[in-house]
Structure 1
Amino acid sequence: MLNVLSYNECTASCNFDDLPDGLEAKYNRYEPNRNPFLLPREFLHELFDRYHIPEHTQQWLIHGIEAIEQDAVLFHFTKFLVDDMCSARNRCDETHYTNMTPGCMKEYGELYSFLLLLACVNPSMQRLQERSVPKAYYEQIPHQPLKVQLEKLVLHGDAKVHDFPWVMNFYTCSIFLLDRFYFIPYRFGDSFTMFRHVETHEVIALAHAGEEFRSDGQRNGINDVYDPEGSFTTEWQENDIFVIANRINPMGFVEREPTPILKAEWVPVLEQGNMLLALHIPAGPGYTPDRLKNSMAMAIAFYDQYFPELAIRGFWSASWLYDTRLGLVLDNESSNIVHIQRQFYNYPTMEGDGMLRYEVFGDWKADPVLNPGEWTTSLQKAAAAYMKTGARFNTLSMVVLSEEIEKIGLNPYIKASDIEEFLQTVDSHIKGS
């Protein structure tokens, strides 16, 4: 019976409060499995023993699992969700999974999101075993969020999953800690193309046409700051011989004057749709160029061996840490933040300074100008002083191509002339220049 249930019939029966868009086509391709259990009970009891889960919490979880398994339609659809989620990240599927509660669960519905994630652990590990990935790479990955989630359940009876899309990376064993940094597949989609010179091997990024930037080379409107008089729009002219477009300065801004390149001398090395590895930065010491270089080399070797079909071109990331304006307020000789920035090809985004406000001042909407506070760190004091001038920080993205890994530590993309142009351009929209 379940094999012939349509997507709409399943979702109507389950009555979810929130489901990602675009699932119906995947459901229609899904081949149901006959597994009689959502989670192997042996796996469940190993968790109970490992984390010393008290009996009442054990029974709560077991009853929640049984409630799913005893509803034939919900169980069928949940197994479909698990199947899709376990491969979504490696497919770079943009389906936005988040917390969801099926209305058909009259009891234990608050457990559903956590149990759905928990059900992903075993099949995800089985997929890695089939790829011959050593257990050392993944056996502890799900326990990063799992430990915190179980503590919430035991101490507070709180089953809510915090930041479902992020922790899904761990429950599905899709993210790997290689030395200092986490890595996960990412499909490049930003509006520029990178080229490499066939002789000098220099890399240049040219912005696509039709995007508006302020005179400082940042997106017009970022942080709700506009530049009506000094803004410009990117252009792209191309024929069989040349491309003329606005260069992205690797210090993280778009240059107003277009740059011409000859197609016989420059070849595309990164285009929309290419595969990269997204780099994520866990807290802790070791944020240095040496650890960055080692981590990237390990990541390329790992994915080349175990996921060769992904054809990884390099790395991508977005962070407040990449804002080159930090170089205006930090000691360029001693700051690892600045040293790391100089190893990247940085470029502007539409994300403002919310991430910096949160990471540096403790709140996404913190205002160190209107509410000075007792700032204790040198970064807090320097950032607050900079913002008092009317300037704002940004979140930047970066790219590092695989060929430049060996040059990490030697500033592979940024030249002295790029830094000089940055110093002349930065904050020009508020300087009136």
Structure 2
Amino acid sequence: MDRRLSFDECINICNFDYLPEGLEDKYNQYNPNNKPHLIPRDFMSELFEQYQIPEHTRQRLIRGIEAIETDDVLFHFTKFLVEDLCSARNRCDETHYTHMTPGCMNQDGDLYSFLLLLACVVPSMEMLQKRSVPEAYYEQIPHQPLKHQLEKLVLHGDSKVDDFPWVMNFYTCSIFLLDRFYFIPYRFGDPFTMFRHVSTQEVIALRHAGEEFRSDGQRSGINDVYDSQGCFTSEWLENGECIIANRMNPMGFVERDKTTILKKEWEPVLQEGDMLLALHIPAGPGYTPDRLKNSMSLAIEFYGKYFPELPIKGFWSASWLYDTRLSLLLDNEKSNIVRVQRQFYNYPTLEGDGMLRYELFGDRKADPLAGPDTFTTSLQKAAAAYMQTGARFNTLSMIVLKEEIGQIGSMPYITDTDIEQFRRTVDSHLREVNG
């Protein structure tokens, strides 16, 4: 190109069916690179050989790459997108990338999203090499989704990228498997603040004002269940000496009665905008407190050594596995689900039981009461029986601050009193309705 085109000129020419919002400012700061290829051909040759890709699929992929490279505007804009994708996760950029197709590609446009992600692999690995990250940490990361994607393409001609935001973590080598769990940087943004007592080191989380909760301490409207009689609104009263607010019980609910803390005795340790590591749980055995502790220890060591600019405060995650209602159904001493969730500071979210329905019954909208004859596990049967009473499950989130890693296994946040209060409070909105 003789001159650099503006952002509007690029998107008008490329004619994407979707682009994330907020790219224009990034594009205006982008320094174009002069690399002649979107994806190095030796990298493609290695993939072809490793996965024994048939000739017709090889030709299709190369044809798609060349279609991008020979279109000056699309090639220029795609290289911008690659650079932004490769650094987005470490910047905790919330830009919502997903499947996109440029209308200017008359042929093989359906390959674009896959090729865009594939173009991120080599530069992402080069960035890690510059950080002196050992290759063993990342050489297999992109192959997690890549193997499945190539199989779909070869067997069915299907080029669509499933769950683009999730697999993006792997193609950009932004997520790391450290022992049992995956970790990736995450910017904390939930409406509460955590404090630590200066003497006892106890941790407390206080919910911010203005949210409506049912009498069971869950957000009003979760699973379309409301509580007109027993609902309450969170408050935050603060002066120079103290804060009065609703405590989040680490068993995963907000307490109706407010708690007072003195500022001279409590220091804030987690606030909106702080950096955490998001923890993700791959399938398989080893979901235990010991493996959790080891994985978190390795993660803090890894990021401290290779990403020292990231001020990691601890860990965050969200899962159906953290719903403390499961402790009503499972053996609290033997169940790893319960044993692991007891190591967290759990708290309510706006997500209902869709994740649990999917994981236990195969569909986010599954009706577990409709097919009890198909249940094969005791948890399926117990969860269905629980829901038959009118009760529902929730997806909860959790926090573990890095100072508590060494205490994992001995319930660093949850006390016996918290558990007792949970048992008194859980499903209280249903008891009020039923009299």
Give the TM bin, normalised by the shorter chain: over 0.9
The Cα RMSD (Å) is 0.7
Structure 1 residue 3 displacement after superposition: 4.7
Which residue is equivalent to 1:239?
Answer: 239
Letter in 1 for 2:389: T
Which position in structure 2 is the counterpart of 1:402?
Answer: 402
Deviations for 1:236-265, whole angstroms, at most 9, x for unmatched residues?
011110000000000000000100000000
**CA deviation after TM superposition for structure 1 residue 4, in Å:** 2.3
Once the 2 structures are TM-superposed, how far is the Cα of residue 370 of structure 1 from its aligned partner? 3.7
Match of 2:201 in 1: 201
Q: Which range moves more in the overlay, 366-375 or 147-156?
A: 366-375
Letter in 1 for 2:292: L
Q: Which amino acid aligns with 2:96?
A: H
Which residue is equivalent to 2:431? 431
CA 1:49 to 1:383, structure 2 compared with 1: closer, same or farther past 3 Å? same
- After superposition, give the CA deviation of every residue in 1:184-226 in whole Å (9 maximum; x if it has no partner): 0000000000000000000000000000000000000000000
1:322 matched to 2:322? The reply is yes
For residues 1-80 of structure 1, what are the structure 2 equivalents within 5 Å?
Answer: 1=1, 3-80=3-80
The answer (yes or no) to whether the contact 1:100–1:113 under 8 Å persists in 2 is: yes
Counterpart Cα distance in 1 of 2:4 and 2:67:
23
Structure 1 segments unaligned to the other structure (5+ residues): none
Q: For each residue in 1:146-192, what CA deviation from the matched residue of structure 2 results, as whole angstroms up to 9, or x when unmatched?
A: 00000001111100000000000000000000000000000000000
Residue 133 of structure 1 corresponds to: 133
1:374 positional shift: 1.7
User: C-alpha offsets along residues 324-358 of structure 1, whole Å, 9 cap, x if unaligned?
Assistant: 00000111111000000000000000000000000
CA contact (8 A) 2:86 2:123 kept: yes
Q: Any idea what the Cα deviations from partners look like across 1:5-55, whole Å, max 9, x if unmatched? A: 000000000000000000000000000000010000000000000000000
Distance in structure 2 (CA, Å) of the matches to 1:235 and 1:166: 36
Structure 1 residues 2 and 260, CA gap change in structure 2 (3 angstroms): farther
- Matched residue SS, 1:291: helix
Letter in 2 for 1:339: R
> Aligned ranges for residues 265-344 of structure 1 at < 5 Å?
265-344=265-344
For 2:224 and 2:2, locate their aligned partners in 1 and report how far apart those are by CA, in whole Å. Answer: 51
Deviating runs (4+, > 2 A) in structure 1? 1-4, 370-373
Q: How does 1:173-188 map to 2 (within 5 A)?
A: 173-188=173-188
Specify the code of the residue in structure 1 equivalent to 2:89: R
Q: Distance in 1 between matches of 2:217 and 2:145?
A: 39
- Which residue pairs with 1:221 in the alignment? 221
Tell me what 1:364 maps to.
364
More off after superposition, 260-269 vs 365-374: 365-374
Cα distance in 2, alignment partners of residues 335 and 123 from structure 1? 43
Deviations 1:374-409 (A, max 9, x none): 211011011001000000000000000000000000
Is the 8 Å Cα contact of residues 2 and 73 (structure 1) preserved in structure 2?
no
Do the aligned residues in 1 keep the contact of 2:372 with 2:381 (CA within 8 Å)?
A: no
Deviation of 1:371 after TM superposition, in Å, equals: 3.9
Query: SS in structure 2 opposite 1:125?
Result: helix
Q: Please tell me whether the aligned partners of residues 207 and 246 of structure 1 are also in contact (alpha carbons under 8 angstroms).
A: yes
Structure 2 residue identity aligned to 1:217: G
Q: Letter of the 1:233 partner, please give it.
A: T
Counterparts in 2 of 1:407-418, with a 5 A limit?
407-418=407-418
Residues in 2 aligned to 1:150 and 1:45: alpha-carbon distance in whole angstroms:
14
In 2: Cα distance, 1:232 partner to 1:372 partner: 36
SS in 1 for 2:136: helix
User: What is the Cα deviation at residue 372 of structure 1?
Assistant: 3.2
Cα distance in structure 2, aligned partners of 1:254 and 1:374 = 36
Distance in 2 of aligned mates of 1:3 and 1:264:
60
Amino acid corresponding to residue 349 of structure 2 in structure 1: T
* Structure 1 match to 2:376: 376
- Alpha carbons 2:100, 2:112 under 8 Å: kept: yes
Change (3 A) 1:115 1:2: farther
Deviates more, 1:368-377 or 1:191-200: 368-377
Distance 1:10 1:236 in 2: 48
TM-score (norm 2): 0.99
Between 23-32 and 3-12, the greater mean CA deviation after superposition: 3-12
Contact 1:2 1:76 in 2 (8 A): no
Q: Which residue is 1:348 aligned to?
A: 348
**Contact 2:280–2:317 (CA under 8 A) maintained in structure 1:** yes
- State the SS of the aligned residue for 1:140: coil
- Answer whether contact 2:215 2:227 (CA < 8 A) is retained: yes
SS of residue in 2 equivalent to 1:310: coil
Counterpart for residue 250 of structure 2? 250
Question: 3-state DSSP class of the match of 2:299?
Answer: helix
Counterpart CA distance in 1 for 2:431 and 2:74 is 60
For structure 2, the 5+ residue unaligned runs are none
Aligned mates of 1:367, 1:91 — CA distance in 2? 40
Q: What SS does structure 1 have at the residue aligned with 2:230? A: coil
1:430 aligned partner, one-letter code: L
Deviation readout 1:120-149 (Å, 9 max, x if unpaired): 000000100111101010010000000000
Whole-angstrom CA distance in 2 between matches of 1:154 and 1:286: 34
Instruction: Output the CA distance in 1 between the equivalents of 2:44 and 2:265.
Output: 59
SS in 1 for 2:86: helix
C-alpha separation in 1, matches of 2:206 and 2:297 = 26
**In structure 1, how many angstroms separate the alpha carbons of the residues matched to 2:416 and 2:245?**
22
Q: Alignment partner of 2:57: what SS?
A: helix
| Equivalences, count | 433
- 1:4 partner SS: coil
Shift of 1:369: 1.9
